[in-house]
Amino acid sequence: METLAVFHILKNGGTTLLDRYKHNDKFVYQRVKNELVYNYQQPNQKRIQTADVTSIPTVVFGHGVSFDWDVLATNNVKYATILRNPRNRIISAFNYFRLEMNTIHETITDIDFRTWFINRSRLLPTPVFYQLQTFTDMPTSCLYSNYGRTLNNKLLLDLYAQAIKNIDKIDYVFFMGDDYINKFDKLMSTYNLTPAQDITHTHNTKYHLDNIGVSYITYDQLNNNDKDLLDSHLHIDSKFYEYCREKFK
């Protein structure tokens, strides 16, 4: 039997896939590295420490997925992920942070984009890291120093090299905007998993922000300085994304 481990990167459309497949008994959610959740959000939900797993699941999906499945699984392991244009991802993450402040803390925040962006890897409830960090040994580390003034570019370049090397371990890469749901469905069918057809989009941030009277901020609404900040700091992540677009086209 083969195991598929799917890296779920924040704000890359993964929650839609999770909700679409969580009803399958062989689909297991791994939100954090050391824990698996069987029958996620079902009446018979069960949590198991990865160290105590005796029956290896068919599909493992979540933020906690890592290449450790090469060791954990006694059978053949394949890996998959969903990638997103870095600029679109960050804009989405900023708006999602504003929504989560209301959802979790019942607060409508007036934080500006620049303040959020510089501190995004430190801010609860939704820290945001570079997409490429997922495929390195520092997936959730802040790369800013000097109280957020300076980006550690040397470390970022080192992590870029790691990510480029490790992306060779990924068997399936899907891209948001490229009909990724239907493509993921086709892959799941090879593992005999069936989708909940009525679920086509989860976490519609704009819709939920509208409901609390908060406008969704787009890239075009940023001032030129903030656009320059965003694009310059995403240069390496964008380079990684374009490399993957070419490699997995």
CATH code, domain carrying 101: 3.40.50
pLDDT score recorded for residue 58 = 92
Phi, psi of 151, rounded to the nearest 5 degrees = -90, 130
C-alpha 204: how far from chain center: 15
Helix ranges (H only) for 149-223 are: 153-166, 180-189, 205-211
Instruction: Specify which residues 4 forms β-bridges with.
Output: 59, 78
Digit-by-digit pLDDT tens for the chain (249 residues) are: 789 999 999 999 999 999 999 999 999 999 998 999 998 998 889 999 988 887 788 999 999 999 988 777 666 899 999 999 999 999 999 999 999 999 999 999 999 999 999 999 999 999 999 999 999 999 999 998 776 678 899 999 999 999 999 999 999 999 998 999 999 999 999 999 999 988 887 668 999 999 999 999 999 999 999 999 999 999 999 999 999 999 998
pTM over 0.75: yes
Closest listed residue to residue 62, CA positions, set 88, 46, 81, 45: 81
Contact 135, 167 (CB under 8 A): yes
pLDDT score recorded for residue 148 = 67
Contacts 24+ apart (CB under 8 A), 99-107: 99/205, 99/208, 99/209, 99/212, 99/214, 100/125, 100/126, 101/125, 102/212, 102/214, 103/208
Which structural domain, as residue segments, surrounds residue 80?
2-247
Overall number of domains in the chain = 1
Closest listed residue to residue 13, CA positions, set 146, 127, 179, 141: 179
pLDDT score recorded for residue 156 = 96
pLDDT score recorded for residue 129 = 97
141 Ramachandran zone, left/alpha/beta (phi>0; psi -120 to 50)? beta
